[in-house]
Chain A
Amino acid sequence: MNNQTGSLNNGNIIEISQLNKWYGDFHALKNINLNVKEGEIIVVCGPSGSGKSTLIRCINFLEKFQEGQILVGGTELTDDAQKIRKIRSEVSMVFQHFNLFPHLTIIDNLTLAPIWVHNETKQEAREKALSLLDRVGIKDQAEKYPNQLSGGQQQRVAIARSLCTSPKIMLFDEPTSALDPEMISEVLDVMVELANEGITMICVTHEMGFAKKVAQRIIFMDEGQVVEENDPENFFNNAESDRLKLFLSQILTH
């Protein structure tokens, strides 16, 4: 086991064991055990209220948990400000509602973390930001403000923003659920490209086409626990639990 941020000797970059979380009296996450290898692409799905968003938000400590242990890159997640900051610079998140900073231009949205958290020079940060914007196809909007862009464009900016800190792990919390249908594919395309570059991705989504295309493992959650997980082929064609069969029948007839 090594103490730097990096993968453990067994190739796991995230290790979650016996994770339990309560909201007041409500048992939101029940005994979650999950190991994620470096470079793995995981899709988490399930009915609403199943705890999938809660789970990934625990990984970057946006949600606190009461029992269990989470190891990210060898560092244990505890309520320690320094550790949390370190982990958050390695783990990026893309939100359902983009959460771009409306009072800053697009390029300032991207350069904020590099300048203030990683002490980069303004020049370096801008260059990197512009190349990332180019990668997601928004380079010409760099000086505009978020409210002047469409939903799909904003989400692509959000993805670019989370790439600015060169994260090892990217968490996606229903990234296309708030988008109009015609903009979903432009965002999914960017995510597919990222998946092909070797970054570890955990994605909460309903987009099963995306899952079939890039996921190496799909996890089905219901009522706060992991019910079934499998590779895409077996997940869709050889579902074993009744709950998953019900969920698939509901989601795939659309």
Chain B
Amino acid sequence: MPINEIQTTRIPPKSQIGTLVWLKENLFSTWTNSALTAISLYLLYICLPPLLNWLLISANFSFGTVNIFGFSIQFSEEMATNSNCGRSAACWPFIYEKFDMFIYGFYPREEIWRPNTVFAITALLFISVKLIKNLKHKNKILLSFIVLYPVISYFLLLGGLGILPVVETYKLGGLMLTLIIASFGIIISFPLGILLALGRQSELSTVRFFSVIYIEFIRAVPLITILFMASNVLPLFFDAGISMDKLVRALIAITLFQAAYMAEVVRGGLQAIPKGQYEAADAIGLSYFQKNILIVLPQALKISIPNIVGSSISLFKDTTLVLIIGLMDFLAVVTGAAADKEWLGRHLEGYVFVAMVLWVMLYTMSRYSKKLELRFNTENTN
């Protein structure tokens, strides 16, 4: 009888599904696995409770009365001082009291609307980039954003031109300064990196030579040596008349540093494009610039986007190094605050606070990068 009777579709037998089965398969499948599970549970047991205790349970949250957006929340009678907080748990009032300084550095309090405006404009920028995705003139709009935004934020933050009071750069500090340095570094190093990458791929041997030397030299030395160079030595290379702000020196160092790394990322993208693209562009008669701007770079940059984000994440982490040359970035301001005689010794709370804020930012960036990578892998399955 060649034909078989039709079989019914069934659900899997009871013994194959359910939480008990999951536990058995994933945690206790073999003796070694069970032992590992036991060890991990034990490790968690000795690590987590003291940590949570220090962070939350026994921690001091007496902020006094807090006013947010017109609402008043009373955490406690009055704000705790260093002596009220114990040493065995976190003293969060330290962070609360210094919060403004941690975010804005030494920016004059009356002018705080200015950095806040810049924050708001930045947020709007991110949102609008998503919104104009489908608009016809999207490239022109993006370009105008990229040009106007730095000009407007510079003016708002530092003032001048007789309209806004001037704020000296040494007053910039805290998280604001970290973000300024990171954004400047990422944005300016990008075109520089593209130029270097093109230079390294160039057929002209001198151009290639200098690009390679620059890139390999910068990548071989630690960022801190370049920061020191910029901080101590750079002024000597220029006319005595030009005074270089400490912040400017750091920005130059970080940008030149990141340009080399960005160049390598872009070079990866350039090499990933099939050779046929270059040949086709030549065949239809495009000049060097047309070829690169219209054909090569759009593709190379698209492929490299996940790595560009990855490199930017590294740069963001590296901005903390400006602490060593004396710029009061987020980490520096918090470290300094713990030396304040009112809150002596609260380093741990400060470090944990900085770690949490930076971790959230960096983790978000890396999740975004992974999402991009997934999107590109599915788009580019050839």
Contacts and interface: CB of A to CB of B under 8 A. Distances in A.
Q: Is there any pair of Cβ atoms, one from A and one from B, under 8 angstroms apart in the complex?
A: yes
B3 to A, nearest CB: 5
Nearest to B9: A27
Interface string A23-37: 011010011000000
A51 to B, nearest CB: 11
Contact of A25 (B2, B3, B8, B11): B11
Interface in A185-229: 224-229
Nearest to A231: B2
B16 interface: yes
Contact of B12 (A22, A224, A235): A22
A67 interface: yes
Nearest to B4: A226
B12 A227 contact: no
Contacts of B16: 22, 66
B228 to A, nearest CB: 46
A209 B8 CA distance: 33
Contacts of B17: 25
B13 A67 contact: yes
A63 to B, nearest CB: 14
Interface string B29-69: 00000000000000000000000000000000000000000
B287 interface: no
Contact of A30 (B3, B7, B11, B13): B7
A22 B11 CA distance: 8
A13 to B, nearest CB: 22
Interface in B1-27: 2-4, 6-13, 16-17
Given A30-B7, A30-B8, A31-B7, A240 B2 contact: yes
A27 B12 contact: yes
Given A22-B16, A66-B16, A225 B11 contact: no
Contacts of B11: 25, 27
Nearest to B12: A22
A150 interface: no
Contacts of A25: 11-12, 17
A240 B16 CA distance: 36
A20 to B, nearest CB: 8
A230 interface: yes
Contacts of A78: none
A225 B16 CA distance: 21
Given A22-B12, A25-B12, A27-B12, A225 B7 contact: yes
B173 to A, nearest CB: 54
A117 to B, nearest CB: 23
A78 to B, nearest CB: 15
A228 B3 contact: yes
A121 interface: no
A237 interface: no
A250 interface: no
A227 B8 contact: no
A224 B9 CA distance: 9
Interface in A11-27: 20, 22, 24-25, 27
Interface in B262-308: none
B6 to A, nearest CB: 7
A229 B2 contact: yes
A9 interface: no
Given A31-B7, A225-B7, A66 B2 contact: no
A67 B10 CA distance: 12
A227 B4 contact: yes
A234 B12 CA distance: 35
Interface string A20-58: 101011010011000000000000000000000000000
By Cβ-Cβ distance, the 5 closest A-B pairs, closest first, are A30-B7, A22-B12, A230-B2, A225-B7, A31-B7
13 contacts: A25-B12, A25-B17, A27-B11, A30-B8, A30-B9, A31-B7, A66-B12, A67-B13, A225-B7, A228-B2, A229-B4, A235-B2, A241-B3
Interface of B: 2-4, 6-13, 16-17
Interface of A: 20, 22, 24-25, 27, 30-31, 66-67, 224-230, 234-235, 240-241
